[in-house]
């Protein structure tokens, strides 16, 4: 009997020790998350989940050490643990989504970055080869952007890029993909669009960009290169053709669209 009692006491203290170690680990995670740069609602969700889990383990520790056993204590522990697990899972999911978006979006303009765009473009070329209208690639470059930076400052240059990103995002359809490919250059993958329709889209964008010009600046213009996706295209061949068209637009006096 004494041996059984000793074993039970040892088991209780082992369980209590594990509960407190678990609570300390959750507490450490709580402190760690507090110092991570996350959007507030994501951080609050994760911290709340950790806090509830910590309280569940704390109740378990009291249950083991103080022998506060009972259905009420067990129910409270289970409810706290379940809520904590659900809320923590939600917070981690939001965290993953937030991190993914950060890795795929351009920080300044909030359109997609080139890495994401290249992957999406590659997938589009792979799966749309048999469609009659595979789509078009539209490349554009802000005219005289260096002069804007020199005459009005880099803050104004950043504002222009943000405006351009907003105009393109608002004008694009859900299936189209907008990208800032570098500097003052942007690209749009126009999905399942014929060349004539893509040219109309480009003209409308030219007008919207001019209309969005800040009052202190000359009218904003862009040089655009447009090309239709061909069955044998790779990402490199498609982009080379679109870039060539865009550079021809620059050579023709800027503020125009060239289609190849």
Among 56, 76, 104, the domain boundary falls at 104
Q: Tell me, what's the pLDDT at 259?
A: 97
- Considering 77, 184, 185, 187, which one is annotated as catalytic? 184
Asked if 165 contacts 187 with a C-beta cutoff of 8 angstroms, the reply is no
| 62 and 177 within one domain | no
| 141 and 96 within one domain | no
| 252 and 129 within one domain | yes
- Annotated active-site residue 175? The verdict is no
Number of independent structural domains in the chain: 2
| 124 and 29 within one domain | no
* 178 bridge partner residues: 188
Asked if 94 contacts 45 with a C-beta cutoff of 8 angstroms, the reply is yes
Among 104, 137, 160, the domain boundary falls at 104
Instruction: Give how far Cα 248 sits from Cα of 28, 164, 229, Å.
Output: 59, 21, 19
Alpha-carbon gap, residue 188 to 109, rounded angstroms: 14
Per-residue pLDDT of the chain (260 residues; tens, 9 = 90+): 545 555 555 655 655 566 566 666 666 666 666 655 566 777 777 777 777 777 776 666 555 545 445 555 667 777 777 777 787 777 777 766 666 666 788 989 989 999 899 999 998 988 766 666 679 999 999 999 999 999 999 999 999 999 999 999 999 999 999 999 989 999 999 999 999 999 999 999 999 999 999 988 999 999 999 999 998 899 999 999 999 999 999 999 999 999 99
Neighbouring C-beta atoms of residue 46, cutoff 10 Å: 24
| 159 and 33 within one domain | no
- What is the domain-level CATH number for residue 121? 3.30.70.270
| 92 and 130 within one domain | no
Domain around 242: 114-259
pTM of the model: 0.67
| 127 and 100 within one domain | no
Q: Is residue 232 part of a domain?
A: yes
Among 65, 81, 104, the domain boundary falls at 104
Which residue do the tokens 């893509």 mark? 198
| 90 and 190 within one domain | no
205-240: b or e for each residue (b if 16 or more CB lie within 10 Å)? Answer: bbeebeeeeeeeeeebbbbbbbbbbeeebeeeebbe
């Amino acid at each position: 009997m004494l041996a059984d009692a000793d074993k039970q006491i040892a088991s209780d203290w082992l369980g209590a020790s594990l509960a407190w170690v678990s609570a300390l680990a959750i507490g450490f995670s709580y402190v760690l998350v507090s110092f991570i740069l996350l959007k507030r609602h994501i951080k609050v969700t994760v911290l709340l989940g950790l806090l509830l889990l910590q309280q569940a383990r704390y109740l378990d520790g009291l249950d083991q050490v103080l022998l506060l056993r009972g259905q009420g204590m067990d129910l409270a522990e289970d409810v706290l643990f379940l809520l904590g697990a659900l809320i923590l899972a939600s917070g981690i999911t939001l965290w993953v989504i937030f991190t993914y978006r950060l890795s795929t979006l351009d920080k300044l303009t909030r359109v997609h970055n080139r890495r994401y765009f290249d992957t999406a473009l590659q997938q589009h070329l792979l799966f749309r080869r048999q469609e009659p209208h595979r789509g078009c690639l539209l490349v554009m470059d802000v005219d005289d952007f260096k002069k804007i930076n020199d005459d009005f400052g880099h803050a104004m240059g950043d504002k222009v890029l943000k405006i351009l990103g907003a105009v393109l995002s608002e004008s694009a359809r859900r299936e189209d993909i907008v990208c800032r490919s570098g500097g003052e250059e942007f690209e749009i993958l126009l999905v399942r669009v014929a060349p004539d329709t893509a040219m109309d889209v480009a003209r409308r964008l030219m007008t919207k960009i001019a209309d969005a010009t800040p009052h202190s600046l000359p009218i904003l213009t862009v040089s655009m290169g447009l090309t239709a996706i061909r069955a044998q295209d790779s990402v490199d061949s498609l982009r080379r053709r679109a870039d060539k068209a865009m550079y021809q637009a620059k050579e023709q006096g800027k503020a125009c669209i060239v289609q190849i």
